[in-house]
Amino acid sequence: MSIVMQYVDRLHEILDKNADQRTTNWFMMSSPFPTLFICLSYVYVVKVLGPKLMENRKPFQLKNTLIVYNLFQVMFSAWLFYEIGMSGWLTGDYSLRCQPVDYSDRPQVLRMVHACWWYYFSKFTEFMDTIFFVLRKKNDHVSTLHVIHHGCMPMSVWFGVKFTPGGHSTFFGLLNTFVHIVMYTYYMLAAMGPRLQPYLWWKKYLTVFQMIQFVAVMIHAFQLLFIDCNYPKAFVWWIGLHATMFFFLFNEFYQQCYQQKRKPVANGVKKDHQECHQSNGVTTNRANSNSSGRRDAADYYVKGDSLAASELNLRKSYTSTE
């Protein structure tokens, strides 16, 4: 045990030696282990403990809770977007070409540092996306990719706040918070039920919007590999590769849901991509969903009540074709 503690102390020495001294003593910033513990606990709860506890229980009906939660996320994301923007990106003080980290104590610089810290905490609030899935027994939505994405983000952002709270990489936070404003607005409207469903036709374009975000982050990050900029190359690779991974993930979902041609089934009825259609987090074509394991990228985190009417009509169509 003493050997382990020696390695832990040595790690802390290395981290503190290279850390930004402005954030070292801030809450959750002195050591990576609390964040790592929370992330691992999240994975255990949503993949093992939560489904086990809900196994013999009825799913919770959380319509109002989901509306309030998504409204909170919209407001939180809007505030973060404003803070990150007014700290540099929207004032003309930051350069899209190269923006080193300012380690001074100027008020505007510290405003950006605090915005990065709060952005880090926003990654924890997003854990509730998955927890609501578990409470509503939508375990098929708790995919490995979903859990990895949510589970690794707090740890990833922790390193940014610890070493580079500001500068070039905050462009990712600016775009990400803006995308989250749109995303959680969609989720909030979807959680309100069937009466708003006709107004959610723009779901497909939300998926495209997310992919555009990843492309912009890739270009913005990887350009530093070809120019001289006083910004850590390790963070350039980390952010660029992160955006690349999720671009291909979301692109695969998009191709699966929107670009594949309709194929005839055995009874002569064509599939209408129902395996990609979800109503407030519930896949209407359960048979197709279970076999393909695919979901619409825009609905990757959708929460809310099911469209009972749509499900009823779907069952009727199955009965008529059997």
Q: Which residues does the annotation mark as catalytic? A: 149
Q: What is the DSSP letter of 79?
A: H
How many Å apart are CA 51 and CA 145, to the nearest integer? 17
175, 213 contact by CB (below 8 A) = yes
Question: Euclidean distance between the first and final Cα of the chain, in Å?
Answer: 65
Nearest 5 degrees, angle CA 22-CA 23-CA 25? Answer: 105
Which residues does 277 contact at the CB level (< 8 Å), separation at least 6?
A: 283, 284, 285, 296
Tell me if 21 sits within 8 A of 168, measured CB to CB: no
Q: What does the alpha-carbon distance between residue 253 and residue 25 come to, in Å, rounded to a whole number?
A: 41
Structure tokens at 31: 């050591």
Q: Count CA atoms closer than 13 A to 35's CA, side-chain side.
A: 24
Alpha helices in the chain (DSSP H): 2-18, 33-44, 50-54, 63-84, 107-125, 127-135, 144-163, 170-191, 203-222, 233-254, 286-292, 308-321
Helix or strand run (H / E) with residue 283: strand 282-283
User: Are residues 298 and 206 in contact, defined by beta-carbon separation less than 8 angstroms?
Assistant: yes
Token pair 């469903």 is found at: 197
Radius of gyration of the chain from Cα atoms?
Answer: 22
